Amino acid sequence: MIMSDANPYALLFEPIQIGPVTARNRFYQVPHCTGLGHLRPRADAAVRGMKAEGGWAVVSNQETEIHPTSDLSPYAEGRLWDGRDVPALRLMTDAVHAHGALAAIQLVHNGNHAQNLLTRAPVLAPSEMSVDTTHPKQAQAMDKADIWEFRRWHREAALRAKDAGFDIIYVYAGHNMTLAQHFMLPHMNQRSDEYGGSLENRVRLTRELLEDTHEAVGDSCAVALRFAIDEMVGADGMQAAEEGRAVVELLADLPDLWDVNVADWSNDSATTRFQPEDGYQNAFLSHVKQITRKPVVGVGRLTSPDMMLSMVKKGIVDLIGAARPSIADPFIPKKIEEGRIDEIRECIGCNICVSSDNLGIPIRCTQNPTMGEEWRRGWHPEIIAPKKSEAEALVIGGGPAGLECAMQIARRGYQVTLAEASAEFGGRVAKESRLPGLAAWSRVVDYRLNDLKQRGNVQLFTDSRLDGDQVAELGVEHVFVATGSRWRTDGMGRNTQRRMPHIEQSARVLTPDDIMNGILPPNGPVMIYDDDHIYLAGVIAEKLAAAGYPVVFVTPESLVSAYAVHTLEQPRIQARLIELGIDIRCNQVLTAVEGDMARIGCAFTGREASIPCASAVLVTERHRETALYDSLRGIGLKTLELIGDAASPGLIVDAVFAGHRAARDFERPKAEADKDWFRREIVDLEET
């Protein structure tokens, strides 16, 4: 039931004027990447259309290249080099407009952030400098003719964006990724002409872009400025209270909308491990509305309706911006409007969505397994096909895969029994969320368990370890086995593809399972060996160091938690361990744990060294728990499916996806399911 105007959140559903267009409410999906972009425009349009269906008043695309000199290949961002790109973008605006929302486009020239690997064009920047990756290439300083050309490219892209149906067109000066921002920053702009030196000169290009865009499309399109008000490096960069504020004063009412955040991307999209609070950017943008008369949108992993309401009432923002929360739940606005707040899938701030973009793959989400699959597989986050029969299902294992599978099968209308061997639901998520910085991950369990407990067609059992005979006695013919995995004790991992012959199997050799089950090492130095390279070893090191253990962290990689580069938190992880006094040994492979010593060898030369340690925690690979599944294979079940970590140990996002897919495919003919994994966007050579 729709809330009345007297409801406490009515303020969030007031329309907001943005230049010549009107947003139907205050919910604003700010630009974010999807890994789909110009390579998969139908899939990208479906992602954006789903947000509009979910109640977002404004839905933005990702950064959209305006010219071949801003080529972000191999990453699939938006592209608007010329008129041939317009039809693909019109797919998005049509999808967004179909649900009554405004469509926004973030035009960009990335300057020295673009390597131009596809186009092989010269890289442009305010001054001579290297590209901002490890690629061996340098950018050339733009002369006056280059600046004039850049303004022309931006103006022409704005006109094409209007032709594609966009309602809001961005000038983008954020994330340390764009020419407009690069010109503002004195450490990147060493010019001595009218585009360098004083702040007013350094802001000149952004002012011109805003004026050019208004002149080109301002009669019918709003012009937004996305601005990084603080680089979060102190006096070495732009600060919100200093030059950041001055930029807002210089441009105050020139944009139709201020979209304000912090730089760089790792600060703007900080994980909950290092920024646990919602609204963590408020302190940086709170003064913007005091300066401009134009509406302001801000972000900060906003998931709480009360926080959103407070920000509007306090005059911090006019519109509630979100990227990651809108990925975790595209229907946040509708759920708030309809009083279904307990049904919101809250973002856990794990940055798996971010890692997808950094890996150049389609977007995915730990909380929302349908993200990126709206067009490819036809999945909807709130709708699932009804049951095909009166069959009953048994799901064994209450971890992330089992919870998701049971919830979705129950939503289809089937009778479901979920049996968990331990005393609590949640599996690995319940345990990992009790480690330092990972408390928000418990939302994966809370959301699904809350849903299951509301349903009359679900039976939930803990302390229910089943064997093959007991499953047979239950008489349920459709069984999903989500029994998870356990960490190995023999040192076998990515860099040691065989069991180590010199590892003593004793209380001195522990695994993450032991630590998460409350088993602490004996007193004395602890060596943690990370051949997993994701996040767990670093979190365990933090836990043990905080408990007073001397910790030596050994990894074959050159960085601690190397995968976390993709989630934008690796530098913070390594800094945290250094601050805790942990002895970090990178590029070292464990070869033995004997007596009170561990032996390690250089990953490159094999040169060995010894480390005194009273115990070792091995974070390497996992054994799949398949004994129950194997015992059930011969008893004639109509459905027997192994899912989650029991089938393929991976990240939590992989387990949730596996459980969701199993529920979608339940009672679907296997031949049909295997025939076509998903729809693909294939180039039609005849049309080309």
Single-letter amino acid code for the residue at 552: V
- Does the pLDDT of residue 1 top 50, yes or no? no
Q: What is the mean pLDDT of residues 618-644?
A: 95
Q: Please give the positions annotated as active site.
A: 33, 172, 175, 268
Provide the CATH topology of domain 392-484+625-677.
Rossmann fold (3.40.50)
Pair 254, 206: CB distance under 8 Å: no
- Architecture per CATH, domain 10-358, reads as Alpha-Beta Barrel (3.20)
Pair 326, 51: CB distance under 8 Å: yes
Integer Cα distance of 418 and 635 in angstroms:
20
Which pTM was predicted? 0.95
Q: What share of the chain is helix, strand, coil (3-state, %, to 5)?
A: 35, 20, 45
Q: Cα separations (Å) of 314 from 11, 35, 226, 310, 317?
A: 12, 36, 22, 6, 8
pLDDT the model gives residue 502: 60
Using a pLDDT cut of 90, give the percent of the chain over it: 90
pLDDT digits (tens, 9 = 90+) for 499-557: 666 665 665 899 999 999 999 998 999 999 999 999 999 999 999 999 999 999 999 99
- Does the pLDDT of residue 299 top 50, yes or no? yes
Integer Cα distance of 170 and 173 in angstroms:
9
pLDDT the model gives residue 647: 98
Q: Cα separations (Å) of 588 from 110, 443, 538, 606?
A: 37, 36, 16, 9
Q: What is the mean pLDDT of residues 683-687?
A: 70
- Does the pLDDT of residue 203 top 70, yes or no? yes
- Does the pLDDT of residue 2 top 70, yes or no? no
Using a pLDDT cut of 70, give the percent of the chain over it: 97
pLDDT digits (tens, 9 = 90+) for 120-160: 999 999 999 999 887 889 999 999 999 999 999 999 999 99
As to burial, measured by CB atoms within 10 angstroms (0-12 exposed, 13-18 middle, 19+ buried), residue 6 is: exposed
Residue 430: CA count within 13 A, CB half-sphere: 19
pLDDT digits (tens, 9 = 90+) for 392-434: 999 999 999 999 999 999 999 999 999 999 999 999 999 999 9
> 494 pLDDT band (50/70/90 cuts)?
confident
Cβ-proximal residues to 635 (8 Å cutoff; 6+ apart), any chain: 468, 471, 472
Pair 422, 441: CB distance under 8 Å: no
Provide the CATH topology of domain 489-623.
FAD/NAD(P)-binding domain (3.50.50)
pLDDT digits (tens, 9 = 90+) for 565-588: 999 999 999 999 999 999 999 999
Integer Cα distance of 569 and 144 in angstroms:
38
Integer Cα distance of 532 and 557 in angstroms:
10
Cα angle: 597, vertex 598, 604; to 5 degrees: 145
pLDDT digits (tens, 9 = 90+) for 320-335: 999 999 999 999 999 9
Break the chain into its structural domains and give their ranges: 10-358, 392-484+625-677, 489-623
